[in-house]
Structure 1
């Protein structure tokens, strides 16, 4: 009887470990492009790998024409099949209105945007923006939580494309490439 109970316990542990799926999200590349260098420039834009398990993204813009009262972000998630194909809706956000009301956080893309702005950046306030914009040390662990738990994505290569419009003119793009294994 004791042997059967022990065997059952071991089988439950093994079955639990086999069925537990653990995904891992990793940054692979980041590209920050300026469309109008007279308006803004990127001081830095990089992925830093501290060790095997800790990577982060940092970027900083130098905005030459302040203040900013009208900002729109166009956000989209893509997955690589033969080329990068959209897998989520193309979300356009009026940044000033969104930061003033903080509505529509039911959308996973906007919830991610909210978390990044709250913890790792200096743009978590209402317009006007009268300073440079930066994201400092956005860790891979937080992104892993969003892309494997909240928005469970299958294994593959992904891209997060964002275009930033100020006064109705596209000023910058930030493309983040990643993989889920």
Structure 2
């Protein structure tokens, strides 16, 4: 009986040691309309709600949807003497095809974290794309654990092999026990 209690206390102790918690928050957002005939951004900013809580809001007006598929590229970068590629560099050749099938795990983690805060859920996409009061998806870190540090997520939209719009989201992760 004593060894059972001893093993139980060891497992509880290990569980508490391995439970790493952290603070994650947005630090900056930048939106670029590379092709002004394609889209423009009327809002692209962060709002400090409280000390460790920051919300992001974006509004992009698409002036001309092409008849050809719009491709999307998502890059996760980590800061180490500048921002360097880290883990993911995904090119989805057709944004509408992805929205229909939802067939990429990493992209699913990103999209699922803000589906209730945006009007981009299926095609045809609206002329005004909005993301309102979006807080950092801390739950996503359970699916995609990342070490402490500064990160960037670059999302590029293009068609006809030319970049048309770019959104750069910067965030920081701080671990504590």
**Which residue in the other structure is 1:95 paired with?**
95
Q: What is the correspondence of 1:68-83 to structure 2 with a 5 Å cutoff?
A: 70-83=69-82
User: Given the superposition, is the C-alpha separation of residues 103 and 15 from structure 1 closer, same or farther in structure 2, using an over 3 Å criterion?
Assistant: closer
Give the equivalent residue in structure 2 for 1:121. 118
**Which residue number corresponds to residue 160 of structure 1?**
153
- SS of the residue corresponding to residue 21 of structure 2 reads coil
The 5 Å alignment of 1:7-156 reads 17-66=16-65, 70-93=69-92, 94-104=94-104, 107-108=105-106, 110-116=107-113, 118-126=115-123, 128-140=124-136, 142=137, 144-146=138-140, 148-156=141-149
Correspondence for 2:168 = 175
Report the TM-score when normalising by structure 1.
Answer: 0.80
CA contact (8 A) 2:77 2:84 kept: yes
**Structure 2 stretches of 5 or more lacking a match?**
none
Any conservation in 2 of the 1:157–1:177 contact (CA below 8 Å)?
A: yes
CA contact (8 A) 1:78 1:87 kept: yes
Query: Structure 1 residue 103: deviation in Å?
Result: 2.0
State the alpha-carbon separation in 1 of the partners of residues 31 and 37 from structure 2: 16
Scaled by the length of structure 2, the TM-score of the pair is 0.82
What CA distance in whole angstroms lies between the structure 2 residues aligned with 1:75 and 1:67? 20
Q: How many residues align?
A: 167
Q: Distance in 2 between matches of 1:44 and 1:111?
A: 24
Q: Post-superposition shift, 1:68?
A: 6.0
Higher strand share: 2
